[in-house]
Amino acid sequence: MTMANAVQDYARTLTLRSPDHYRVGPFTVRHHPGWELKYANYAIPDREAEPTADDVAALVDAFREHERLPRLEFLPAWAPAVEPALLAAGFTVENRAPLLACGHGDLRTPTPVGGLRIAVPSTEAEFTDAARVQHQGFGGEGEPEPGMTDWLRAAATGDGVAVLDGTPAGAGGCSVAVDGLSELAGLAVAAPFRRRGVGAALSAWLTDRALGQGCRTVWLEPGGPDVERIYASIGYRRIGEKVNISLEPGGA
């Protein structure tokens, strides 16, 4: 199995282990009941799935019953028949995102950031700070939903919060390992602290921590070319491409 397919299998396996996932035809849906963010709610097709129009319609209905945007994230090569079926049903490709990975011997030490402190959150205030940085860093307004803070607390064994000059500057985490793989996800840097090396420092800290706990590879999806360059600077390399695709309100 290629590393890209191993990553896709990892994402599907982790979703199947989550208590709130559900199945619709040849799809597994990752669902967060207390967190509406679209990046936290999406479906993954089974390998080599060939969904019918009825399968896709049932998937759309399920998302809408759960009050979520119908959305999928997957590698096209994992299930080549899925994207054409979704496009025929009115879905639109949001973007095609590269997948990056970093293993033992690949990680590079970033330029130190003076005064930066990174630690696993442990207090209620630290969980709230981390959730706020992530919520606002990904385009949310105001305070994060309670479900987001609860989710961070449940996953805190792989999370980190960065504090600079006494202010929460960044947050992110690595998911639970499956077959030696872990995902670095949800990494966000507060607007006043961007372009100061916080993202690189936090990413390297999280990656090093996951590798030190027994992972053989950490993977991620960068948010854009500028972000990809930051990850490349600490040793991440491209291993494949993922499609993010959704059906906006008013779609078929």
pLDDT digits (tens, 9 = 90+) for 73-85: 999 999 999 999 9
Query: In a 10 Å sphere around its CB, with 0-12 CB exposed, 13-18 middle and 19+ buried, how is residue 249 labelled?
Result: exposed
- Tell me the mean pLDDT in the region 103-122: 93
Pairing mode of beta strands 92-103, 217-220? antiparallel
Summarize pLDDT for 202-225 with one digit per residue, the tens: 999 999 999 999 999 999 999 889
Q: For residues 34 and 105, which has the higher predicted lDDT (pLDDT)? A: 105
Summarize pLDDT for 161-181 with one digit per residue, the tens: 899 988 889 988 898 888 999
Summarize pLDDT for 119-160 with one digit per residue, the tens: 888 887 777 777 787 767 666 666 666 666 665 555 545 588
The CA-atom distances, in angstroms, between 33 and each of 40, 133, 145, 146, 189 are: 10, 20, 11, 11, 25
Kindly report the pTM of this predicted structure: 0.80
